[in-house]
């Protein structure tokens, strides 16, 4: 049976600045449940992406995970063991996430190899995953290089690769930020159907409250590395309690000519 609860607790990420230790993420705790989308929201530079990277053990050089545990259905697990097997991830800029001299086929093979899947069953999986994300001619697309594809297509391929190992959880770090609105809509529809059909749990990192309104079930608001408010999405929009949350919701609603309650 696949796990249904991924809990991260007391995650603290630090860096050294002028000889002093500086906390970038401070005691962050999150519970990601299968079949639900948890949105991690905050302004740029608030530590959203670093929290994701720390969970997957892929922090940039000079940045250290000082503390933190992760539990899968209540059992402790190593951070490094999450990546790719239990949590797969999709990143913000699809263009820089692919190797420019490799075809999509080579990328997919690499993923299969990392997952330890056999070549022929893997190939069937690739074609199915590509169709699953709405890429209609997988055979043709497998032979393309990244520069021959649009940002939206690349993002779909990235999601397809993330689904290959059929992991129970997905981290989506600003999955639609650089895409145009029409493509954004398609990607969000796609993520919604992934939750519904595969029963995945998604951690959605974003600064766009429109994306949150469209997709999220629960929201955690982060400011300067700390979670300042955690609530179901309706409560965040109807009755935001923290100042940071109010500002985010107010800015979002002002685009629609509305005001926060």
Partner 1 sequence: MSLLSAQNVSHGYRSFSLLGRSRYHPVLGDVSMEIGRGETLALLGRSGCGKSTLARLLIGLETPMHGDIRFERKPLNNLSQADRLALRCAVQMVFQDSISAVNPRKTVGEIVAEPLRHLTDMTVAQQSQRVVELLESVELSAEDAEKRPATMSGGQLQRVCIARALAPKPALVILDEAVSNLDLLLQIQTLDLLRGLQEKSGLSFLFITHDLRLVERFCSRVMVMDGGRIVEEVAVRGEVRLEHPASKQLQDAILPAWPRGCAKPDLAGDDVRQPMIANV
Chain contacts with partner 1 (rule: CB under 8 A): 43-45, 150-151, 179-185, 188, 207-214, 216, 233-234, 237-238, 246-248, 250-261
Distances in Å between the alpha carbon of 242 and those of 214, 223, 245? 22, 10, 5
Q: Which is nearer to partner 1, 8 or 215 (CB)?
A: 215
Distances in Å between the alpha carbon of 199 and those of 32, 126, 169, 191? 12, 19, 9, 11
Q: Which is nearer to partner 1, 85 or 232 (CB)?
A: 232
Q: Which is nearer to partner 1, 116 or 257 (CB)?
A: 257
Q: Which is nearer to partner 1, 81 or 196 (CB)?
A: 196
Rounded least distance, CB 85 to partner 1, Å: 32
Tell me how far apart the alpha carbons of residues 33 and 37 are, in angstroms, rounded to a whole number.
8
Distance between alpha carbon 15 and the CA centroid of its chain, in Å?
23
Rounded least distance, CB 132 to partner 1, Å: 22
Rounded least distance, CB 166 to partner 1, Å: 27
Q: Which is nearer to partner 1, 117 or 190 (CB)?
A: 190
Rounded least distance, CB 156 to partner 1, Å: 15
Rounded least distance, CB 244 to partner 1, Å: 10
């Amino acid at each position: 049976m696949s796990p249904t609860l991924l809990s991260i607790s007391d995650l603290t990420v630090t860096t050294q600045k002028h000889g002093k230790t500086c906390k970038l993420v401070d005691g962050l705790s999150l519970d990601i449940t299968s079949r639900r989308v948890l949105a991690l929201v905050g302004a740029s530079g608030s530590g959203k992406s670093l929290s994701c990277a720390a969970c997957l053990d892929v922090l940039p050089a000079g940045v250290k995970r000082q503390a933190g545990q992760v539990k899968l259905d209540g059992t402790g697990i190593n951070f490094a063991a999450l990546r790719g097997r239990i949590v797969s991830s999709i990143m913000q800029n699809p263009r820089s996430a692919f190797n420019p001299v490799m075809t999509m086929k080579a990328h997919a093979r690499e993923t299969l190899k990392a997952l330890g899947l056999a070549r022929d069953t893997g190939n069937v999986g690739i074609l199915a995953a590509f169709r699953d994300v709405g890429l209609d001619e997988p055979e043709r697309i497998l032979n393309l290089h990244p520069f021959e594809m649009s940002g939206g297509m690349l993002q779909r391929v990235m999601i397809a690769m993330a689904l290959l190992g059929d992991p129970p959880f997905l981290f989506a770090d600003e999955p639609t930020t650089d895409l145009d609105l029409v493509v954004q809509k398609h990607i969000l529809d796609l993520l919604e159907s992934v939750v519904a059909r595969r029963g995945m749990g998604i951690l959605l990192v974003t600064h766009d409250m429109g994306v949150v309104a469209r997709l999220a079930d629960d929201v955690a608001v982060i400011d300067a590395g700390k979670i300042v408010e955690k609530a179901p999405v309706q409560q965040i929009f109807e009755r935001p309690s923290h100042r940071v949350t109010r500002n985010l919701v107010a800015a979002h609603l002002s685009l629609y000519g509305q005001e926060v309650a």
